[in-house]
A and B are shown apart, each in its own frame.
Chain A
């Protein structure tokens, strides 16, 4: 299957600082990538859809100024958590997939465990 790489896998930051998470498709081009958030013992919730060369689409309730998404190339999307607070501590995971829109097998990165202290 296709490979999606996410970095870093774990990060601890101080409250008020910003953290950038990278998501790369290693063996295919991805015009669309997705960012999810997972709270402990809960399922994944879509945060935003990252579109190459255009603005990201955010789900209701997700602050676009707090979670900045940049999809500058066909193989890289970044999520920056700005002015992080302890309540932003969570597991963030990205996905992408080759294939046509509407019928794409999704492949996931390894996830990033963010802890804000």
Chain B
């Protein structure tokens, strides 16, 4: 069964710092990998989707990479802002079309 792990579980950084969130998965037979943002008590906002054939995707200050063979993905956030504070979840999609989620990284950006 697919298992998704995220490290670190929590991260606190000063405003303006660049940071990297890590995601690893055990089964490389995936269709894609998505990064989401979740604010407390809210739903999930899709940030980036990387297809299994792609190596990276960029959106604004966010850059996500995928190394499918090693079962790893990273989310890079440049010039962090207090508004970036949230829980970040990665999820991999399998042939069944559902998602396997990691446990999330709770990010706090200190003004």
- Enumerate chain A interface residues (CB-CB to B < 8 A): 1, 6, 32, 34, 42-46, 49, 91, 93, 95, 101-111, 113
Contact = CB atoms under 8 A, between A and B. Distances in A.
A107 B46 contact: yes
Nearest to B52: A103
Given A108-B44, A111-B42, A103 B51 contact: yes
Most B CB within 10 A of own CB, among A93, A104, A109, A110: A104
23 contacts: A34-B97, A43-B89, A43-B101, A43-B104, A44-B91, A44-B99, A44-B101, A46-B99, A93-B44, A95-B44, A102-B93, A103-B32, A103-B51, A105-B46, A106-B46, A106-B93, A107-B46, A108-B45, A108-B46, A110-B42, A110-B43, A111-B42, A111-B43
A95 B101 CA distance: 13
B43 A46 contact: no
Given A44-B89, A103-B31, A108-B36, A1 B46 contact: yes
Nearest to A5: B43
Nearest to B96: A49
B90 to A, nearest CB: 10
Given A102-B97, A105-B34, 10 more contacts: A42-B103, A95-B44, A102-B93, A103-B93, A105-B46, A106-B99, A108-B44, A108-B45, A110-B43, A111-B43
Contact of A113 (B41, B45, B89, B103): B41
Interface of B: 31-32, 34, 36, 41-46, 49, 51, 89, 91, 93, 95-99, 101-104
Contacts, number: 61
A45 B101 CA distance: 8
Given A34-B98, A49-B98, A106 B34 contact: yes
Most B CB within 10 A of own CB, among A42, A95, A109: A95
The 5 A-B residue pairs with the shortest CB-CB distance, nearest first, are A108-B44, A110-B43, A111-B43, A43-B101, A44-B101
B71 to A, nearest CB: 17
Given A1-B46, A102-B97, A43 B103 contact: yes
